Structure 1
């Protein structure tokens, strides 16, 4: 299953990761890198690579959905819906070779990454 693969890959490649907060940050950054590669593959008309990179992003987003803690309140439900919508956009980008959908997903994850960094920095300062 993609979701376990994504988590295991990040865990194995980053043995020195000390906190779940850092892992989430790395997952967001991974999505941004994979999307950049997928967009480049669309421009290059490389269907195989486009599919590969979009699948990598999908795997990470699926893992983000799987690790949500619904005991933490409404934010988990909001993120679940947001992540699911991003998966849908990536599927559409893959089907229609639409790099604007990839850009939209990347914008969302840039915003999430910035917010995540800010919130974890504040929490670490307390």
Structure 2
């Protein structure tokens, strides 16, 4: 019962989120999966590591596809996303925690920047902050 309520809450959160909030959810999800992949490597659970890295790669691909190709920042972000994807591939193939850490660092910076953008936009529009 509690799980069903949680699922309903999660679905409602996604369905009512703004595009900016959805992007923040993607960043948070990617970081969660990287942490799970790291733990799986440490525990030598390579099947789970593979699943978690692939989930992260799927998110990175989604972030790449949804970039506004007309925005000047895209020219700077796309190579970083490519690098993150490459790091994830190397981490997956070689069980390389350093490569996971590099991907995590960049995605954390993107997430933190995006969180600040949302916060500033809310302040500008409504005088409200953003939840973590």
**Fold agreement, TM-score > 0.5:** yes
Q: Distance in 2 between matches of 1:96 and 1:52?
A: 14
> Residue 70 of structure 1: SS of its match in structure 2?
coil
How many residue pairs align between the two structures?
115
Within the alignment, does 1:101 sit opposite 2:99 as a pair? yes
Within the alignment, does 1:34 sit opposite 2:33 as a pair? yes
Unaligned runs of 5+ in 2: 1-9, 125-132
Q: Distance in 2 between matches of 1:122 and 1:82?
A: 24
Closer/same/farther in 2, CA of residues 103 and 17 from structure 1, 3 Å limit? farther
Q: Distance in 2 between matches of 1:62 and 1:53?
A: 14
TM-score (norm 1): 0.85
Q: Distance in 2 between matches of 1:43 and 1:114?
A: 26
Q: Distance in 1 between matches of 2:81 and 2:11?
A: 24
String of CA shifts for 1:55-87, please: whole Å, max 9, x gaps: 0000000000000111122x1121111111100
How far apart are 1:124 and its partner, in Å?
A: 1.5
Aligned to 1:3: none
Which segment drifts farther, 115-124 or 47-56? 115-124
Out of 75, 78, 89, the position equivalent to 2:76 is: 78
How far apart are 1:15 and its partner, in Å?
A: 3.7
TM-score (norm 2): 0.81
Aligned to 1:122: 120
Contact 1:38 1:54 in 2 (8 A): yes
Task: Tell me which structure has the larger Cα radius of gyration.
Answer: 2
Closer/same/farther in 2, CA of residues 15 and 117 from structure 1, 3 Å limit? closer
